[in-house]
Amino acid sequence: MNQKIIGILGGMGPEATLDLFHKIIKLTPAEKDQDHFRIIIDNNPKIPDRTDAISGTGKDPLPELIITGQNLEKAGADFIIMPCNTAHYFISGIQRNINIPILNMIKESANYFKNIFPSLKKVCLFASKGTYKAKLYNFFFNAKNIDILIPTPPEQDKIMDLIYMVKSGILSEEMKSQIIKISEEQIKKGAQAIIAGCTEIPLILKDKDIKVPIIDPTNILAKRAVKEAKKHRIY
């Protein structure tokens, strides 16, 4: 079949890239190897830290993001997906320098949430400090009349610690207990759902861990990528 080729701009971090790749595989209806989509992955962990850049304390990641996106385009990808929420702060800069579209994970998540949970109006965002500072989710969710609740600064610090622990390869039941405890505090404050708004969060917080829905942008992006890849390539 003349299907589109998926490009994954990854490495931010590698575990999140692997998670997205795995979800695409699981969401693809396939009986044999040839039924799967061709996926080109540039796992580039050398891209500078996005949160540090947004906070003004680190190197600008945009040049490396552009190079990585261009690599995927040259390799034959028809569109790009990025398993990093904070990197979406730089999405317009990347898009201006490549000729294939980038699917916006945060925009897709807002559309999904509105369609699946039309009656819910308050959702708490678990994310990196860079994503909070840039208000990436506020823009798309507020446009659909959905309020974004933010954890307290100490809770944000703990979430950030957990994110970097996952990036370093650590996964434990203690980490799960900590993220569940923070989740329960947000539910007490009125959160009707939790957005796993950093691609490391779904690796420790799973469906049924808490009593409200967990919105997994990585999974939403994987579903959208599968839908897009089914379309015929345009030469």
Q: What is the mean pLDDT of each run of 10 residues along the chain (235 residues)?
A: 93 93 96 96 97 96 98 98 96 98 97 97 95 94 97 96 92 94 97 94 92 96 97 74
Is there a shared CATH topology between the 6-104+220-229 domain and the 105-216 domain?
yes
What pLDDT score was predicted for residue 1? 61
Topology, domain 105-216: Rossmann fold (3.40.50)
Is the distance from CB of 79 to CB of 194 less than 8 angstroms? no
Q: How many residues does the chain have?
A: 235
- What's the pLDDT at 207? 87
| Contact present, 22 and 202 (Cβ < 8 Å) | no
pLDDT of residue 235: 56
The predicted structure's pLDDT at residue 233:
80
Extents of the domains making up the chain: 6-104+220-229, 105-216
Tokens of 198: 């950093």
* Sign of the CA dihedral running 87, 92, 226, 118: positive
C-alpha–C-alpha distance, residues 69 and 85, integer Å: 16
The answer for residues whose C-beta is within 8 angstroms of residue 215's C-beta and 6 or more apart is: 109, 112, 113, 123, 193, 194, 195, 196
Q: Which residue in 6, 16, 54, 84 is the catalytic one?
A: 84
Q: How is residue 145 written in tokens?
A: 């009349």
The rounded distance, in Å, linking the Cα atoms of 87 and 91 is 7
Structure tokens at 97: 């320098």
pTM of the complete model: 0.92
Task: Give the pairing of strands 122-126 and 147-149.
Answer: parallel
Say if CB 201 and CB 179 are below 8 A apart. Answer: yes
Fold designation for 6-104+220-229: Rossmann fold (3.40.50)
Among 138, 175, 171, 135, smallest CA distance to 54 is for 135
Contact partners, residue 144, CB within 8 Å, separation at least 6: 110, 113, 114
CA distances from 185 to 101, 165, 167, 191, 233 (A): 39, 22, 25, 9, 47
Which amino acid, 129? K
Q: Are 215 and 112 in contact (CB under 8 A)?
A: yes
Q: Has 198 been annotated as catalytic?
A: yes
Q: Would residue 124 show up in a list of annotated catalytic residues for this protein?
A: no
pLDDT at 2: 87
Q: 4 CB contacts (<8 Å, ≥6 apart)?
A: 37, 78, 79, 228, 229, 230, 231, 232, 233
Among 163, 198, 203, 226, the one annotated catalytic: 198
